[in-house]
């Protein structure tokens, strides 16, 4: 985890450094200096990093707590029936196969067939399944879904998506403020602090860049789904996962709170949205990818 964090932060810094150099080569800083409106790139970078990564890491740190509150998931500490005993034993076996500590296992009340995994660390995670999934799938398919979620944990997908989100947040903050500064000082020629033009430009740029940046996060999320499907096939066999996905396609897609959609077994993208903004690939593509394994 720490190597991944260091790599993403180093990459983020390197890319922003390169882009800052490009801005200088293009003469943006010279134009600003000539207008008496230079910008402190280093201070802006620090601000962008703090706000870009801060919110993402805070969300990751409280992800298990939020997941339990938003879904009402009840962690199984002492199995009260045969199903709960089977769930615990299955996740424990799969976690051992995947080389991670056993996650907390929870069940939440929902008619939708869905499941999710979350947590700040791969060895301190939460795997939760809905009552709809337990009642609507045979055991071998439920086992495949559990293996999918355990693979998410073993692959460190929660941390990876958090880091990617932090990177794009940093870029959005960094460039929206450069655009706002340019509009306010160069185009509007405001010399007395920041005017309304700056704030309007920053808000507009942040909205536009944020939408573009979200497509990057969603693309990464879709790739992690393919990888988790493959992980399920490795832990539990290919056919049960294919059958589970086919059942999900025939049924009503499960819905999770927005913060958890990227970590569910299905959902995350709705038909009315473009493919670029889907957190999960279409189920037929996932099935085809499994058949090609």
Question: Could you tell me where the beta strands, DSSP code E, fall in the chain?
Answer: 74-75, 104-108, 115-121, 124-130
pLDDT at 249: 85
Query: Into how many domains does the chain fold?
Result: 1
Digit-coded pLDDT (tens) for 212-254: 888 899 999 999 999 999 999 999 899 999 999 999 888 755 5
Flag whether pLDDT at 30 surpasses 70: no
Q: Which domain holds residue 117?
A: 1-293
The verdict on whether 149 is a catalytic residue reads yes
Flag whether pLDDT at 10 surpasses 70: no
CB 147 within 8 A of CB 236: yes
Flag whether pLDDT at 168 surpasses 60: yes
Name the more confident of 107 and 54: 107
pLDDT mean over 90-107: 95
pLDDT at 262: 55
pLDDT at 233: 94
Flag whether pLDDT at 1 surpasses 50: no
Distance, in Å, from the CA atom of 97 to the CA atom of 195, rounded to the nearest integer, reads 59
pLDDT at 70: 86
- How many CB atoms lie under 10 A from the CB of residue 121? 16
DSSP string, 55-68: HHHHHHHTHHHHHH
Beta bridge partners, 121, equal 124
CB 263 within 8 A of CB 116: yes
pLDDT at 83: 94
- Catalytic residue from among 149, 249, 255, 285: 149
CB 40 within 8 A of CB 181: no
Distance, in Å, from the CA atom of 124 to the CA atom of 259, rounded to the nearest integer, reads 19
Beta bridge partners, 199, equal none
Q: Residue 152: which of 28, 5, 58, 265 has the closest Cα?
A: 265
């Amino acid at each position: 985890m720490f190597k991944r964090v260091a790599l993403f932060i180093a990459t983020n810094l390197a890319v922003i450094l390169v882009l800052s150099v490009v801005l200088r080569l293009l003469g943006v800083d010279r134009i600003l200096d000539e207008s008496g409106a230079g910008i402190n790139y280093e201070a802006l970078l620090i601000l962008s990093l703090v706000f870009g990564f801060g919110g993402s890491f805070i969300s990751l740190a409280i992800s298990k707590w939020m997941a339990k509150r938003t879904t009402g998931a009840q962690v199984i500490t002492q199995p009260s029936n045969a199903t709960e005993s089977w769930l615990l034993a299955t996740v424990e076996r799969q976690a051992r196969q995947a080389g991670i500590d056993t996650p907390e296992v929870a069940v939440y009340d929902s008619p939708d067939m869905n499941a999710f995994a979350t947590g700040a660390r791969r060895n301190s995670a939460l795997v939760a399944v809905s009552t709809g999934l337990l009642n609507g799938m045979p055991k071998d398919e439920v086992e495949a879904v559990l293996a999918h979620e355990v693979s998410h944990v073993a692959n460190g997908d929660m941390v990876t998506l958090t880091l990617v989100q932090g990177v794009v947040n940093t870029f959005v903050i960094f460039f929206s403020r450069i655009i706002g500064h340019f509009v306010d000082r160069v185009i509007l020629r405001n010399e007395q602090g920041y005017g309304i033009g700056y704030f309007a430009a920053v808000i507009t740029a942040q909205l536009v860049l944020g939408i573009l940046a979200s497509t990057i996060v969603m693309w990464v999320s879709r790739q992690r789904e393919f990888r988790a499907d493959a992980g399920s096939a490795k832990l539990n066999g290919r056919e049960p996962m294919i059958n589970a996905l086919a059942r999900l396609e025939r049924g009503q897609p499960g819905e999770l709170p927005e913060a958890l959609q990227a970590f569910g077994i299905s959902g995350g993208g709705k038909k009315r949205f473009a493919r670029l903004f889907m957190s999960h690939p279409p189920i037929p593509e996932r099935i085809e990818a499994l058949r090609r394994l």
